[in-house]
Amino acid sequence: MAIHPIEYRYGTREMRAVWGEEHRFSCIVQAEVAFAKASAEHGFIPARAAGAIADGAGNAMLSRAKEIEDEISHDMMAIVKAIAEQCGEGGGFVHYGATSNDILDTATGLQIRGALALIDEKLRRLLAVLLKRSAETRMLVCVGRTHGQIGVPTTYGLRFAIWASEVARHIERLGQMLPRVAVGQMTGAVGTQAALGEKGMEIQQTMMEILGLTPVDVSNQVVARDRYAEYFMFLANVATTLDKIGIEIRTLQRTEIAEVEEAFGSRQVGSSTMPHKRNPIKSEQVCGLARVVRSAVEPALQNNTLWDERDLTNSSCERVIFPEASVLTDHILALMIRVIEGLTLKPERIARNLEILQGVNMAESVMIELTRKGMNRQEAHEVMRKASMDALSKGTPLSTILSKDEAVKRYISPGEIRLFLDPGHYIGTAPAQVDRVIVKLTPLCVKTG
């Protein structure tokens, strides 16, 4: 019976597979085989034993390991025994010189690498979608808002470009972080490699080369959990970007604003009681699940504060937070890609909202021009502040107030006032910034190398 929603409601098939029991078991087997090969290469075990382990380990079954665990109450030793049963004469050398976390943490490194490959691919897809929407809307002028209040104009193209730039930074972070978090170790019971003899460092290096992981420089019994904390903080950072985008979409879809709308199917139901509803449920799901992803950061940080060479407090916690945070981050990435792809923009509402304040939101434009033509900047600010407050209190267009203001008329003609109150003439370098972002970031949409 499924209990956790990632078993039946959230998550992509491929990310669930990375953190599933069968794949975890497979990663452990891969680590044991790589250890045997590296040990043989450096003369620590006979080559024929490593060959037997390589040939037989793949036949080990998770179900058999669970049977053994029921008897001995040690998960790693149960897997060792299940592998050894399949390796003939090599069985006696399975796990020789290793401690449990040498294998378990190395297996985790393989899982992290697989998870980040999936997240990297989705980040690049999201980047491509955002850049596409940015190009489509590079000249679509809209209301800018600060403190939730209407300000000077911006463009939808710039909004999409800002989000794209943030996603690109996550791609960059992922690449920088990967060798620090996708790591493995073979250092023994307390990190000294005493059981491996003088070739311990070489065995570890070769083992990780076989697996394609970064070897730790030093460790105690476990990989230091600051590495894993970085992984979880990265997931939380990605989730927060998606949360931010989701909040903006939800805000812009409010009935009073109505500038955008999530795609809504022809047979989709918005409410069980209000038939008219068209709710931004996908963005809401992104925002809600982002909270869960962020909640993994605190336990991940505490997992780095283990006693001495280690204790076991991290283990149970990691069994929960690794699959949960990874699956949910991957899920909301996939969801946000769909949201941005299907997002409907409503030009008529966008234009209407630009006119709500009857020109008051363009006061900065006039202030800048008054200063350019000779008025003291502080005086110009005060003139426009008073005119704006007057227009707002009277419900009168700002152009009407300014056309009667003698201080303004000395510098700007009525015709010029209309020009400076036109939102389309006050978007600065926004289109050029969009073009620059598109040129710079488009190559990141496809992974190379």
What is the C-alpha to C-alpha distance for residues 265 and 333, in angstroms, rounded to an integer? 21
Coil, strand, or helix at residue 151? strand
Cα-Cα-Cα-Cα dihedral sign, residues 19, 25, 31, 37: negative
Neighbours of 355 (CB within 10 A): 12
Which residues does 44 contact at the CB level (< 8 Å), separation at least 6?
96, 97, 196, 197, 199, 203
Alpha-helical runs (H) found in 212-280: 226-252
Q: Which two tokens stand for residue 76?
A: 């790693």
What is the C-alpha to C-alpha distance for residues 165 and 162, in angstroms, rounded to an integer? 5
What is the C-alpha to C-alpha distance for residues 79 and 85, in angstroms, rounded to an integer? 10
What is the C-alpha to C-alpha distance for residues 246 and 258, in angstroms, rounded to an integer? 15
Instruction: Using the structure block, give the residue that is written with the tokens 């083992």.
Output: 207
The CA-CA-CA angle for residues 204, 18, 305, to 5°, reads 60
Which bin fits 212, alpha (ψ -120 to 50), beta or left (φ > 0)?
Answer: left
Coil, strand, or helix at residue 110? helix
Q: Which two tokens stand for residue 35?
A: 């250890």
Q: Which two tokens stand for residue 149?
A: 């209040």
Active site residues: 147, 271
Beta bridge partners of 345: 260
The continuous run of DSSP H or E covering 214 comes out as strand 214-215
Please report, as a single letter, which amino acid is at residue 293.
V
